[in-house]
């Protein structure tokens, strides 16, 4: 009974290790895909750091934008752009277009009471337009801009995966070795006053092992 309980315990531990390894692999893969896939499919990625678009895109959200011709932009579209120098805003903003007058645009943050106090022109022929968003995922991207955080977030799971994999392989080898014939040395007991009887080995000890490493 105790042997069966011990075997069941080892199986549960082994199953838990496999689940942990798979979960860590999935996390690392998703983080990597979050960096690679948007650019591969022609999307820009921006992290919302303000609250002017709260309700639609809360602080910490990641918005994905697809580049479209400026002529296709319409009132109601949300774009990320650099406000004109006279506005005094030195960072990119992600706001919704509220009016288009020829080639001049005006925008507004959904959570702001008033429209932005500037108009602007888009000098290029194309402009990224928001097509999707992921709430709060931006906090992870902000953290990963720090090199030390990237090492911890990617290196530690990778090390844990490696250790769990090695432990699993070692445990499997040990279980297989118990089921294979091994050496069984037998030592003859010497007489009280006589010479030592040499040890003998069973024939099974010389059989080649079929275990693949």
CB 59 within 8 A of CB 51: yes
Locate 174 and state its tokens. Answer: 């040990």
Given this model, what pLDDT does residue 28 score? Answer: 66
| Number of helical H runs and strand E runs in the chain | 4, 7
Number of domains in the chain: 1
Q: DSSP assignment of 161-199, as one string?
A: HHHHHHHHHHHHHHHHHHHS-----B-PPPPSSSPPPPP
Cα–Cα dist 25/17, whole Å:
12
Beta bridge pairs of residue 66: 43, 129
- From residue 56, how far is each of 59, 77, 84, 140 by CA, in Å? 10, 12, 24, 19
Tell me what pLDDT residue 68 has: 95
pLDDT by residue, tens only, the chain of 213 residues: 566 666 677 677 677 767 776 776 776 677 667 667 777 777 888 899 899 999 999 999 999 999 999 999 999 999 999 999 999 999 999 999 999 999 999 999 999 999 999 999 998 999 999 999 989 888 877 766 667 766 776 677 677 777 767 776 776 666 666 665 554 444 444 544 555 545 444 444 444 343 334
Residue 113 lies in a domain: yes
Q: Residue 101 sits in a domain of what CATH number? A: 2.10.109.10
Residue 201 confidence (pLDDT): 46
Closest CA to 80 of 53, 101, 112: 53
> Does residue 172 lie in a domain region?
no
Closest CA to 94 of 64, 117, 139: 64
Please report whether residue 115 resides in a domain: yes
Per DSSP, what are the bridge partners of residue 63? Answer: 46, 133
Specify if 109 maps to a domain. yes
**Residue 192: inside a domain:** no
Q: Is 71 helix (H, G, I), strand (E, B) or coil?
A: helix
Domain that holds residue 121: 42-142
Please report whether residue 174 resides in a domain.
no
Q: Is residue 76 part of a domain?
A: yes
Q: Has residue 24 been placed in a domain? A: no
């Amino acid at each position: 009974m105790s042997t069966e309980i011990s075997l069941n315990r080892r199986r549960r531990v082994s199953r838990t290790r496999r689940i942990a390894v798979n979960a860590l692999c999935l996390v690392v893969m998703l983080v990597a895909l979050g960096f690679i896939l948007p650019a591969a499919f022609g999307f820009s990625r921006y992290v919302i750091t303000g609250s002017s678009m709260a309700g639609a895109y809360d602080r910490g959200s990641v918005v994905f934008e697809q580049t479209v011709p400026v002529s296709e932009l319409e009132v109601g579209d949300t774009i990320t752009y650099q406000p004109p120098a006279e506005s005094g805003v030195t960072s990119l903003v992600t706001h919704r277009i509220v009016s288009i007058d020829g080639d001049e645009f005006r925008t507004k943050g959904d959570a702001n009471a008033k429209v932005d106090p500037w108009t602007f022109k888009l000098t290029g022929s194309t402009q990224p337009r928001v097509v999707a968003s992921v709430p709060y995922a931006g906090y992870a991207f902000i953290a990963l801009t720090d090199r030390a955080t990237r090492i911890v977030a990617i290196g530690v799971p990778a090390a844990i995966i490696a250790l769990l994999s090695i432990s699993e392989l070692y445990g499997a080898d040990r279980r297989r070795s118990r089921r294979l014939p091994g050496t069984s040395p037998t030592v003859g007991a010497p007489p009280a006053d006589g010479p030592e009887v040499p040890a003998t080995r069973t024939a099974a000890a010389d059989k080649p092992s079929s275990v693949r490493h």
